Amino acid sequence: MFPGIGKTGLFWPIEGIMKSNSSINFRKPVLDFFHRHSSAKVFGILSPCIFWIGIFFLLPLVLMAAYSFLERGLYGGVQWIFTWQNYTRLMDPLYLKILLRSLRISFLTTTILLAIGYPLAYRIATAQKRWRNILLFLVIVPFWTSDLIRTYAWMLILRDTGLINNVLMYLHIIESPVTLLYTEGAILMGLSYVYLPFMVLPLYASIEKLDHSLLEAAEDLGAGPIRRFFKVTIPLTQSGILAGMLLVFIPSMGAFVIPDLLGGAKVMMVGNLIQLQFGASRNWPLGSAASFILMAVVLAAVLSYLKFSGGRKALEEAL
């Protein structure tokens, strides 16, 4: 059957994806909906979403894809001449190093935040009810200030004449300032600080709805606190762990404000590279190509992680 013909023909790809997995329960009503109504009607109902995604997501993506195969214009913009050059240039070890560094920093940020975020979320979720909202509020409250301003504040704390160095020198623990700013460590610090709520909130949601009687059952069946944690608590909060890790990893890979301010020119991440190409370097095609490579790398990392951890089911539950 040709797509677009027949009652549900237009939506056969959606149907195919949905059929591939049978454990989700919202799938059936959605499919029923497709079967009961004509394509035109379904299209009409979905048109706001299709319009929105088309204008603000697909169109820019197509534009960028096109740009990435064109030659740069002299003062920005593009010349409509086809070339592979942008991609071949990005295979240069210089750029690969930036990509690897981005991967390493994002991975470390995710790991650090999981290690900090899980105990924190657990503590909040198991706190007394009246404390829970207050504690959650405290986690979110830094969001009320722009992260640009918060990052500048970190610069003041970390720089050679900043708070930390001054205090350490005053106490005679060190004699000369230690370089804290413009290091990979500073970026890690900044990313971990800014993305903490992205880790804590999904974790909190999954821990909070954990059925307490399952923990009691584990204990009843002879599991001490450690075994109980790894055999019951972790698997049952896997959806939160996964969501938190993705919500931290993906924006970390694309971050540019924090690495720019805290890492400086010495420690560049992919985000900075892209920003540079669209800005000062005026090489839009190279920036577009870098964006696509970033997207491919993130997608590959996430998919392989999902496959490796068997987390696809958990992800579906999280969504």
Partner 1 sequence: MDITVELKGVIKAFGDVNAVDRVSLQVRRGEFFSLLGPSGCGKTTTLRLIAGFEAPTGGQILINDEDVADKRPYERNVNTVFQSYALFPHLTVTGNIAFGLERKKIPRSHITRQINEALDLVHLEGMGPRYPRQLSGGEQQRVALARALVLRPDVLLLDEPLGALDLKLRKEMQIELKRLQEKVGITFIYVTHDQEEALTMSDRIAVMEKGRLAQVGTPEDIYNMPRTRFVAEFIGVSNFFSGKIAESGQEQLVVETNSGLTVSLPGSENRQKGQPLQFSVRPEKISVISGEEDTEGENRFHGRILNRIFLGGSVTYVISLADDQQVKVDVKNDRRSRQPFPFSSGDHVVVSWHREDGVILAD
What part of residues 193-212 is at the interface with partner 1 (CB under 8 A)? 211
Told to check if 312 binds partner 1 by CB under 8 A, we report no
Give least dist CB 218 to partner 1, A: 7
Size of the residue set binding partner 1 (CB under 8 A): 18
Closest listed residue to residue 292, CA positions, set 81, 87, 80, 74? 87
Distance CA(83)–CA(87), nearest Å, equals 9
By CB under 8 A, name the one of 149, 224, 266, 308 that touches partner 1: 224
Report which of 206, 199, 203 is spatially closest to residue 236, judged by C-alpha positions: 206
Q: Token digits for 289? A: 């190509």
Query: CB of residue 317 vs partner 1: minimum separation in angstroms?
Result: 10
Smallest separation, CB 223 to partner 1 (Å): 6
Residue type, 292: F
Of positions 7, 28, 227, 307, contacts partner 1 by CB under 8 A: 227
**Least distance between partner 1 and beta carbon 243 (Å):** 17
To which H or E segment does residue 178 belong?
none
Cβ-based burial of 70 (10 A; exposed 0-12, middle 13-18, buried ≥19) = buried
Least distance to partner 1 from the beta carbon of 117, Å? 21
Which of 67-75, 95-103, 169-177, 231-239 is the region at the interface with partner 1 (rule: CB under 8 A)?
A: 231-239
Q: Please count the CA atoms within 13 angstroms of the CA of 200 that sit on its side-chain side.
A: 23
Interface residues with partner 1 (CB under 8 A) are: 211, 213-214, 216-224, 227, 231-232, 235-236, 238
